[in-house]
C-alpha cells in the first residue's frame, strides 16, 4: 500500500485506499534470478520465490489487514486493533486517511487478526 501524496488533490482526507499489486513483477524477477543462480544461491532464492508467490496470492482484504497491522506496529501501538484508539492511532500515523477509510481498514484488520 502506498500513500499518494504527490498526486494533485490528494492532500485532503481520503475515503479510499489504493492497493498496488506488483508482486507478479517481483515473482518474475526472482524466478529469473533462480534460473540463473549458482547452487549456493538456489535455496535462498527458492524460499524468496515461495514467499513472494504467497504474497501475490493474497487477497486485497489480507493485504489491507497486513498494512494496518504493520502501520500500527510501526508507531508502537500494542492495544486492541478493534478499538477506537487503534483508529485514532492509524489516522495519526496516516493523516490523509478519513475516518471512513480508517474504519474500513480496521474492519479488515479485525477480520484478519492473527
pLDDT, tens digit, 9 for 90 and up, residues 81-102: 999 999 999 999 999 899 999 9
Structural domain range at position 63 = 59-113
pLDDT at residue 2 is higher than 60: no
- Is 107 inside a domain boundary? yes
Residue 113: which pLDDT band, with cuts at 50, 70 and 90?
Answer: confident
- 27 lies in some domain: yes
Q: Residue 14 burial (CB < 10 Å; 0-12/13-18/19+)?
A: middle
Q: Residue 81 falls within a domain, yes or no?
A: yes
Q: How confident is the model at residue 58 (pLDDT cuts 50, 70, 90)?
A: confident
* pLDDT exceeds cutoff 60 at 7: no
Average pLDDT over residues 46-62: 90
Is the pLDDT assigned to residue 59 strictly greater than 70? yes
Q: Please tell me the distance from the alpha carbon of residue 59 to that of residue 32, in angstroms, as a whole number.
A: 25
Quote the number of domains for the chain.
2
Residue that finishes a domain, picked among 40, 57, 74:
57
Q: Would you say residue 7 lies in a domain? A: no
For residue 44, being part of any structural domain is answered with yes
Average pLDDT, the chain: 87
- Whether 68 and 103 map to the same domain: the answer is yes
Amino acid at each position: 500500500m502506498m500513500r499518494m501524496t504527490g498526486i494533485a488533490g490528494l492532500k485532503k482526507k481520503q475515503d479510499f485506499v489504493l492497493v498496488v499489486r506488483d508482486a507478479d513483477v517481483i515473482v518474475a524477477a526472482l524466478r529469473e534470478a533462480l534460473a540463473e543462480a549458482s547452487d549456493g544461491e538456489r535455496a535462498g532464492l527458492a524460499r524468496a520465490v515461495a514467499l513472494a508467490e504467497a504474497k501475490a496470492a493474497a487477497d486485497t482484504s489480507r493485504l489491507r489487514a497486513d498494512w494496518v497491522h504493520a502501520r500500527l506496529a510501526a508507531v508502537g501501538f500494542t492495544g486492541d486493533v478493534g478499538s477506537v484508539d487503534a483508529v485514532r492511532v492509524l489516522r495519526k500515523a496516516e493523516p490523509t486517511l478519513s475516518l471512513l477509510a480508517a474504519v474500513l481498514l480496521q474492519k479488515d484488520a479485525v477480520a484478519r487478526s492473527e
